[in-house]
Structure 1
Amino acid sequence: MTLRQAQDERNQTFIAGIPLVLGGNVFGWTAKGDDGFAVLDAFYEAGGRMIDTADVYSAWIPGHKGGESESFIGEWLASRGVRGEMKIHTKTGMLSRKVPIQIGSDGDPTLYEPEEVLQSLGASLERLQTDYLDLYYAHRDYEQLDIGQIVDAFDGAVKSGKVRALGASNFTAERLAAALETADARGATPFTALQNEYNLVARKAYGAELQELCTSRGIAMLPFFGLAAGYLTGKYRNDEDFAQGDRAYRVKDYQESGKPVLAEMDRIAAETGASLPAIALAWLVRQPGIPAPIASARTVEQLQANLEFTRLELSDAQVERLTAALQ
C-alpha cells in the first residue's frame, strides 16, 4: 500500500455522506431548541454525515462558557440514535479557563500538555454523549512549542482509543510539514486533515505551499468560513447591511475587496440559476485538496440553500472567472 493509499483509507474514518461538513458554531447559540434540531434533522435527511464543532463554541457570548455547541449536538445525537452513522469532528486548544483565545495572541500553550489534551477530550466526549471522536483537531498552533510536543500530545489522544483521526487547524505550511515529519520519525499518528480559513474572498491561509503539501500527502483540507461568515450569501451589500446581524462585525473586512467577487457571482447566478451560497461552495470543492467545505446554517432554509451546491456543476470557465475575481 502506498502512502497516499494509506492516507485515503484513514480519511474514510472522517469523510462520509454528501460533500459538506455542517458547521456547529451556531448550535446552542443562534440555532437552538427545536429550530436547531430541525437543521440537524434536515442535514441528516439530505445525506449529511459530518458535523464540525469545538470546545470553545460559543464562549464568546455573554453567559456562555464554551461547550454549548457540543452539548447541543450531543443531545441531538442521543435523541435520534444516529451516532454510529455520523462523523463527529471537534477541536481543542482555544478555550483556557473558559476564556476563548484569539488567533494571533500568545494564548495558553499549556493546553497542549498531554494531560490537558486528554482532559479536554474527556470533557468533549461527555458533552457530545459519545465514547469516541472521528476527528480531533489541534484548534490552533502554538509556535512557541516544539512541534514534537504537539504531535505527542495528540498522538496520546489516539492511543487512548477515543480518537480515530487527527487534524490541524490554523497551521502554516512550515509547521504542518514539521508535524508530519515528526510523526513519521516517531511512528506517531499524523494529522490527516487541515482546517484553515479559505473561501472566495479569503485565500491566504491556504496558499500554494499548503495546497501542495495537502495534495502530496493526501491530507483533506476542510476549510472553515466557506461562506465568509455569511458575506458570500450576498446579504451584505451596503453600509446598512454591515451594521446588522449577529455576524456582521466579521464580514466588514470584505466590504471593499469582495465587491468584484460578488459581482462575478451575480453573473454566474444569472447564467446557472444557482444561489450565491451554492456557487461559493461549488467553487471550493473544485480547489486542490478540498473534499468538502464547512458551512453552518441557522435555519432549514439556509441549509437548503447551502446544499444546492451538491447539485451544481460549474464549468471550468466559471471556476476560472471566480478565481480571478479577487483582486
Structure 2
Amino acid sequence: MSRKGAGVEYPHPVTTVLPIDEADARFPTLARRRVLGASGPRVFPIAIGGNAFGWTASEDSAYGILDAYRDLGGNLIDTADSYAAGRSESIIGDWMRSRGVRDDVVVATKIGKSAQNPGLTSSAVSASIEASLTRLRTDRIDVLFLHYDDESVPFEETLVAVDENIRRGTVRFVGASDHSANRILEARIIAGQLGLTPFTALQCRYNLLHRREFEGSLAGMADQQALGVMPRFALDGGFLAGNYRTRSELDLNSTGNIVLGGDAETHLNRRGQKVLATLDRIATELDCAPATVALAWLLSRSTVTAPVVGASNPGQVADLMAAVDVVLTRQQVAALDDVSA
C-alpha cells in the first residue's frame, strides 16, 4: 500500500527529533528517533508491544513481528514481567540473542504485577529485576516501568530500590505506568529530596476513544516534567484498526484472537462507529490504513513520544510504522478531535 506524507516534520516541543545518523542510514525515512523524556534513550516513534507474545502469539509469530519491526527501523520493544507469566520477556530475550541485536534495541519492561514477585516493596523490586534480566538474557533493562501505583508500599521504598539498580547499572531509566499526576509530582519531590533518579517516561491508556484519563492534569504534568509519554492500547485492542465493526465480527474474532487490552464491545455504539467512519475517510484521503491514521493522531499530540502497539502477525507491522510518515492536516486533526471528544 502506498503512503502519502513522507518526510514528516514532528511538531513536538517536548520530545526532540534527532537527525538520522550513519547507523540509521539504511532506513532513510523510518529510522528517525526521538529522545524519550528529557534525556532518555533515542527511540523510534512507534513501540512494538509484547503483551501477546507467548499468549495469543506463538514464538514463531513473535519472531516474525520483531523481525519485521526491526527491518523497518524500529528499536523500542515494550513488555512486562507479568505478560504470559514472563513468557513474553523470554521470547524477546531469545530473539535478541538469536539475532545478536541487544545493543541495537531499547527494551522497556514493567514490574509489580507478576505472580512470582507481586507488589513494589524493596525486595519485590530487586527480585523482579533479577528475574526479568534472566528472562531477557541481558545485563540491563533500558527503561523500567512501575506497572501500577502500589500505595500499600511507601513510595520512597520503591523509588530507592529502583535507584539502587540504576546506580548498579542493571536499570538505565525509570518510568511510571498508570500513576496519577499527583503521584508523579510526589515522585519528583522524593527524587529531589533523596537525590534519586527521577522518572523519565510515562505509560498510560490513551487513544481516540480514551482521552479523559490522560488529557488534563496528567498531560500537563508530563509536559511540565518533560516525560516521554508512551500511550498503551493505542489502537484499543484493534478496534481503531477497524477489526471489529459489528458484534458478529467481534464474536468471530474473539474465538481465535482475544482482544488484548481493548473495550471493543463497549465501543460498538454510535460514538465508536463515528470515530471509525472518520478514520476510514481520512485513511482514504491519505491512501493508508485506519490504524495508521489513529497512530498518526497520537503522534500529533505534543506530549506523545511513542505509542505502544501490538501486532498479531508480521504483515500488520508496516501499517503501524507508517504512522511516522503521515502528516495529518489541521482539518483532519480537528475532525478526529471533534468526533472523539
1:181 to 179, 189, 201: 189
| Cα deviations by residue, 1:83-115 (Å, 9 ceiling, x for unpaired) | 0011000000111338xxxxxxxxx5xx21112
- CA distance in 1 between counterparts of 2:204 and 2:59 reads 29
- CA distance in 2 between counterparts of 1:93 and 1:157 reads 15
SS at match of 1:204: coil
| Cα deviations by residue, 1:209-254 (Å, 9 ceiling, x for unpaired) | 1111111211001010011111101111111022132334742122
Residue 9 of structure 1: how far off its partner (Å): 8.3
Matches for 1:100-119 after TM superposition, within 5 Å: 111-119=119-127
After TM superposition, the structure 1 stretch with the greater mean CA deviation from structure 2, 212-221 or 244-253, is: 244-253
Amino acid at match of 1:44: R
1:15 to 29, 42, 45: 42
Cα–Cα, structure 1 residues 68 and 11, in superposed 2: closer, same or farther, change >3 Å? farther
SS at match of 2:311: coil
Is 2:274 the counterpart of 1:247? no
Residue 10 of structure 1: how far off its partner (Å): 6.7
Is 2:79 the counterpart of 1:53? yes
SS at match of 1:205: coil
Q: How many residues align?
A: 303
- CA distance in 2 between counterparts of 1:180 and 1:125 reads 26
Is 2:89 the counterpart of 1:76? no
SS at match of 1:194: strand
- CA distance in 2 between counterparts of 1:143 and 1:25 reads 25
SS at match of 2:153: coil
Aligned to 1:30: 56
- CA distance in 2 between counterparts of 1:217 and 1:12 reads 11
Q: TM-score, normalised by structure 2?
A: 0.84
1:233 to 230, 238, 241: 241
Aligned to 1:300: 314
Cα–Cα, structure 1 residues 324 and 136, in superposed 2: closer, same or farther, change >3 Å? same
Q: Does structure 2 retain, via aligned residues, the 8 Å contact 1:14–1:50? A: no
Residue 317 of structure 1: how far off its partner (Å): 1.4
Amino acid at match of 2:237: A
Residue 159 of structure 1: how far off its partner (Å): 2.5
Q: Which residues of structure 2 form unaligned runs of 5+? A: 1-13, 16-34
| Cα deviations by residue, 1:153-175 (Å, 9 ceiling, x for unpaired) | 32222123200000000111111
After TM superposition, the structure 1 stretch with the greater mean CA deviation from structure 2, 45-54 or 154-163, is: 154-163
Matches for 1:277-288 after TM superposition, within 5 Å: 277-288=291-302
* Structure 1 ranges of 4+ moved more than 6 A: none
Residue 12 of structure 1: how far off its partner (Å): 5.0
| Cα deviations by residue, 1:129-183 (Å, 9 ceiling, x for unpaired) | 0000110010000234333233223222212320000000011111111111111
Cα–Cα, structure 1 residues 57 and 280, in superposed 2: closer, same or farther, change >3 Å? same
Q: Does structure 2 retain, via aligned residues, the 8 Å contact 1:211–1:288? A: no
Is 2:93 the counterpart of 1:93? no
The percentage of counterpart residues that share the same residue type is 34
Q: Does structure 2 retain, via aligned residues, the 8 Å contact 1:147–1:179? A: yes
SS at match of 1:196: strand
- CA distance in 2 between counterparts of 1:155 and 1:213 reads 22
After TM superposition, the structure 1 stretch with the greater mean CA deviation from structure 2, 257-266 or 112-121, is: 257-266
Q: TM-score, normalised by structure 1?
A: 0.88
SS at match of 1:221: strand
Aligned to 1:105: none
- CA distance in 1 between counterparts of 2:78 and 2:59 reads 19
Cα–Cα, structure 1 residues 324 and 220, in superposed 2: closer, same or farther, change >3 Å? same
Cα-Cα RMSD: 1.9
Aligned to 2:10: none
Residue 323 of structure 1: how far off its partner (Å): 1.1
